[in-house]
Structures are given as C-alpha cells and as structure tokens.
Amino acid sequence: MLIDLESSFKNLKSSLSQLYIVGAPRSERFAKVRHRVPMLSLANSFSREDVADFESRIRSFLGLGMGEIVMLTAEPKIDGLSLSLRYERGGLVQAATRGDGEEGEDVTVNARTIADIPHRLTGDVPAVFEVRGEAYLGHADFAALNARQREAGDKEFANPRNAAAGSLRQLDAAITASRPLRFFAYAWGDVERLPDDTQFGIVQAFKAWGLPVNPLMTRCASVDELLAHYARIEAMRASLGYDIDGVVYKVDRIDWQQRLGFVGRAPRWATAHKFPAEKATTLVEAIDIQVGRTGALTPVAKLRPVTVGGVVVSNATLHNADEIARLDVRIGDTVVVQRAGDVIPQVVEVVMAQRPASAGPYAFPHACPCDLHTPVVKETTAAGIESVVRRCTGEFACPYQRIEHLKHFCSRRAFDIEGLGDKQIAFFFEKGLIREPGDIFTLAKRDAAPGNLQRIQNYEGFGETSTANLFAAIEARRTIQLERLIFALGIRHVGETTAKMLARNYGTWAVFDAAAMRVAAGDAESAAEMDAIDQIGETVIEAIRSYFAEDHNRAIVDRLAAQLTIIDAEQAAKDSPVAGKTVVFTGSLEKMTRDEAKAMAERLGAKVAGSVSKKTDLVVAGPGAGSKLKAASDLGIEVIDEDGWLRLVAP
C-alpha cells in the first residue's frame, strides 16, 4: 500500500525535495514553565469604526447608559516579545516567555542580564506579583547588533523583534547580556493583590516599584480622545527609537475588566488599534496553488523578494479565485503588497500601467495540483450560496491534505512536537515513514526494528543525537490533554475554543468518542446534547458527523488513540455550585446584562441553554418571565431570581 502511494506521488516527491534541508530538531533547551494565569492575546481594531464598536460593545455588555463615562487607557503596542516576571517578596524569582500562552520557557538567567529588569522591587509590593510586559530592542542597538553580526560573518536579523527573541532565547546568558534588551511593564499575571483598582493606577505603582513603564500611556474619556492619542503616537512613531505596531486600549476600571472577562484567548476589555499595513511594490513571478488541510485551494503569488516594513516578503496570498478575478492579477504583473503585523502578506492592487503585453488572464485550475489530479469543486452552503473556496475532493487520498493534516497535528496548539516541524513532516511523509498521526508514535519502534536497513539517523540532516531528541520529544507527547487531541484531529470548524468546550463537556476521550460516533450514526438525542454545549451549533455538529461517519477517518483516529494516554479534561471550575449545570436565564435582568450573566455562568463551569428542557438544572427568572418560567414549573425545575443567582455564585 505504501509503495503504491509512493509511486503515485512522483511529482510531489520532486516538489518536496526542495524542502529537504532538514534542520536538527529543536532541542528541549529551556525548562517549561506553566503560567499560573494564561498569557493572552489582544483582539485587533483597524479603523475608527472598529474602535467605536469596541467601546459600544463594552457599554452594552455592562449595560451602561450613554451618560456614563467609560475611562480607557491608551498606550503604544510594543513590537517585541512578551515576558512574565515573577516577584516573590519583592525579589525576581522567575522569568518566562509567553510560549503558547499556557506554557512558556524559563529564561530567568537571561532576563537577569537585562538592565531594565530590576532584581528587586522597592516599596509596598505584594508578596507575590507577576509583572508582564514586552522585551524589545531599540533601533540603534538593533543596527549596532547587526553590524557586529555582519563583521563576525554571522547571520543578520530581519527586524528588532526577531533580534530580541533570538537574544533572549540564548542558552549562553553571556550572549543575552551582550545585547542591550529593554523592557516595558504593562500587565500582570498571578498576583496576591493589586496595588490599585484601575489599570492606570497599577501601572503607576509599577513605576513606583522601580519597573520601566511606557511614558506615552494616558487615560481617555471617549473614543475621540482615544483616536486623538492614537494620532499623536502615530506621528511620533518614527522618532520613538523602538518598534511599535499600534496603540492598545484597555478599560481602566479593574472591576469592569473582571466583569467583561474574555472571549476565547482575548480580553473583552482591551483591543489593539493597529497602524495601517506597510506596502511595497514588486513583481509576480508565478502563481502557485497551495492545498490546505481541508482541501481548500489557495492561490499564492510568488514574488520577487521585497522588503515590507523590515521583513523580506516573497509570497503573498491571493485568497481565492474570486480575489484573483477581482484584482485581475496575472503572472508578470507588478503589484502592491502589504503586510500588517503577523498577518500573511497580501496583494492589494495591480499596477496596470506596468503590465507586460504578454501577460494573459490567470486560469484557475480545475484539478488539484497533486498527482491524483482530483477534481476541484465549489461548495454550496445549506442556504444555497456558492462558496468562493474551491476544494480538492480527494480528502485523505490527496497527499497535500494529508501533509497539511499532519502539520496541523504537530503544530504548537495541537501536539506541539518539538523537532517535527513542517519540513520534517514533509520529509517523513515522502519517505513513507509517517503517513498519518498514529505513525508518529510508532516511528521509534519501527526505526529500531531488526532488519530496518534505513535508520533515520543515517539520513542527511539527522544524526544520532537529533534522532534521539526527536524520539524523546514524541514520547513526551504520547500523554496528551483531551482538548489538544480533539483540536489536533483537524475536524473542520473545530478550533481550539470549540475543542476545549467539547473536552470540558465530555470529560474523557471515551465519552467524547462515543458521543461523536452516536452523532455520526444519526442519533438525534446525542446531537441535541452536543448542541446544548455553549458555542457549538449545527455547523460544528455537522462537521463532527461527517468526520466520524467516514470509515477512513475513523480508522485513523482509532490507530492514533491506541498509541496515546489521554488526560481527562479539567472539569471547568469544579468547586463552583453551578459547575456542570445547565442554566437558563429568562425575563429581564436588572443588575447585569444577559451577555454578562451568560459569560459569568460559563466562567463558573455552567452551560447556558436558550430553552428549558428536562436537561435544565436551574432557571434564573427576572420580571416578565413567561413561557420558560411555566415550562420550568411544569418540569419541576428549580427557579431562582437574579439576586438568588448572585448570592449563589458570590465568591
């Protein structure tokens, strides 16, 4: 079977061979640190409207009247890397990078060499206080570092952020010490208590304790004031001496921040207002088609390399066939590309005046570029709307999809296997050593099998040590959290948040797997049960249904699960009185908005349902409650009012 696949992938082989520069797997260089409070990211705003929406969402969530002032802080968004510094009794005890937000790397020794970071805080500092902020490299220091790199014949850094990251993640702290990293404190993690009840006041306390804080942080009482401060910072951008990529707005009142909470990985109480993307002009040398994990065909413009905002860009996404048609991009065209932050560079416009006479319209392929030449289809949604995405119908027969699936499986938020990056996956796939996720966990055993004539350590780019490191990294992930496993399966529409919700709800792999199988078999009750989980609706259920109904997928999942030790999900907020309960809010609420009530219940581990059924545990009824209240009493379900709810969940 493998040999068959091999011979049918000849083309793939040649295109993959460009990827054969197989680097030694990253080694476990730094100890891991679990963040006691996760390090989160920020939602972005790109326009005045986005900022106004952000402010009005806060008002509506908190149920504030127009007369009420929402004080917000505004400060530069530093383009460096975030760092968490743990102080105990005023002394620096640990420094950790962000990592995936849950787990970072212990860089204490290196952080101690940064002059901006005090080893001891002074004044009335709480016994435990984690300060969070950004480590960065100034423009002048960046230029000097690159000059030294050049002289020494070492590789130059593309931009200050990469240089800062490279400098901090040095095994030899003397190297970090020789690079003048700087630091701004702007947030906190695990703390014994807060020194003030406002964002601004806390940052002032940081300053009093001896931490460096950004001088451009201010308080604003309206959207107009935010935008005025944004304009001021933008005007100063070039002369600041360090990279910033926007302005961060945060709700000043900490009690409001707490009520607002989070959506996914980002706080509802903050947003990053990004500066407009940087642009450059270059030539389209080719248009390639990339096949994603779900078979979506994405056209990519291969560009003559050009520097956009300090980064060399040689690929830009063209999104889909409609976008190519809209822009009328042709091979040979000169185009304007833009890059905003970490977002993939995009082609925004064709410079028509420079189009060569020979450039003909681009014809989007009707078959997958893989050797199977599987037909490409346009999907139609349930509502009959034709999607702009063209998809290869090959699924697991399509080698591109299999490789993308494996890449997703090994990615940071999924199995996070060190040393099994994109290049290595493509390499092992092409060698026939890893064809599906389960193969990863049998790799070492097959490699060591008597009679194996081609050991991995003998391939170029590998060696005894890096192979041993790779096997150790794989072994370390054989034990995996349920939510990561569900996410890693690569079910369409099941992202990290959905995977977490599923894991928390079903608790164990066996329970989830059984439920998924019942859903796949068309069991309506199991589907309804899944539907009752917050943030899970028909789209996700349909995706789970079709994934698990496919025998091929089923077999792959079984072979994988047989290799793993799966850690049960942490039942959310186990000790709360409403954990695991299904709650229905009805009637009007007076002390909080419906959104806030829902978010609060979910934070405490409850499920919030829209209608009363025999699965409902508790109904919170305000004035004006009607049919749901009646249904509750018919079914004998406990009913309380808003005050009763607040008493129940009071800390």
Applying CB under 6 A, the residues found at the interface with ligand IVH are: 40-42, 75, 77-78, 82, 98, 134, 186-187, 248, 267, 270, 272
Alpha helices, DSSP H, located in 9-91: 10-16, 48-62
Q: How far apart are CA 144 and CA 139, in angstroms?
A: 9
Burial class (CB within 10 angstroms; exposed 0-12, middle 13-18, buried 19+) of 341 = middle
**CB-nearer residue toward ligand IVH: 245 or 416:** 245
Q: Name 281's bridge partners.
A: 336
Stretch (H or E) spanning 311 = strand 311-317
**CB-nearer residue toward ligand IVH: 82 or 424:** 82
Least Cβ distance, residue 250 to ligand IVH (angstroms): 7
Q: Is residue 72 a contact partner of residue 219, using CB atoms and an 8 Å limit?
A: yes
Q: Is residue 45 a contact partner of residue 54, using CB atoms and an 8 Å limit?
A: yes
CA dist 221 → 61, 207, 213, 319 (Å): 18, 23, 21, 39
Q: What is the DSSP letter of 355?
A: -
Nearest residue to the partner ligand IVH, using Cβ: 82
**CB-nearer residue toward ligand IVH: 134 or 430:** 134
Helices 538-549, 551-561: crossing angle, 10 deg rounding? 80
Q: Which of 10, 13, 32, 77 is catalytic?
A: 77
Residue 207: Cβ within 10 Å count: 13
Q: How far apart are CA 247 and CA 568, in angstroms?
A: 40
| Residue at 246: amino acid letter | G
Q: How far apart are CA 53 and CA 57, in angstroms?
A: 6
**CB-nearer residue toward ligand IVH: 75 or 278:** 75
Least Cβ distance, residue 196 to ligand IVH (angstroms): 17
Contacts of 345 (CB under 8 A, 6+ apart): 308, 313, 315, 316, 317, 337, 338, 339
Helices 538-549, 509-520: crossing angle, 10 deg rounding? 90
Helix (H, G, I), strand (E, B) or coil at 86: strand
Least Cβ distance, residue 209 to ligand IVH (angstroms): 18
Least Cβ distance, residue 267 to ligand IVH (angstroms): 5
Stretch (H or E) spanning 188 = strand 182-191
CA dist 397 → 12, 70, 393, 423, 542 (Å): 13, 55, 9, 21, 22
Least Cβ distance, residue 61 to ligand IVH (angstroms): 16
Q: By C-alpha distance, which of 160, 185, 33, 183 is closest to 98?
A: 33
Backbone angles phi, psi at 160, to 5 degrees: -60, -35
**CB-nearer residue toward ligand IVH: 77 or 628:** 77
Least Cβ distance, residue 273 to ligand IVH (angstroms): 11
Least Cβ distance, residue 103 to ligand IVH (angstroms): 15
Least Cβ distance, residue 49 to ligand IVH (angstroms): 20
**CB-nearer residue toward ligand IVH: 251 or 533:** 251
How far is C-alpha 490 from the chain's CA centre?
15
Least Cβ distance, residue 295 to ligand IVH (angstroms): 31
Least Cβ distance, residue 128 to ligand IVH (angstroms): 19
**CB-nearer residue toward ligand IVH: 142 or 269:** 269
**CB-nearer residue toward ligand IVH: 129 or 186:** 186
Q: How far apart are CA 174 and CA 109, in angstroms?
A: 10
**CB-nearer residue toward ligand IVH: 186 or 427:** 186
> 492: left (phi > 0), else alpha (psi -120 to 50), else beta?
beta
Alpha helices, DSSP H, located in 521-651: 524-531, 538-549, 551-561, 594-603, 627-635, 642-649
Helix (H, G, I), strand (E, B) or coil at 614: coil
Alpha helices, DSSP H, located in 333-459: 399-410, 422-430, 437-440, 443-448
**CB-nearer residue toward ligand IVH: 54 or 409:** 54
598 is catalytic: no
> Which amino acids are annotated catalytic?
77
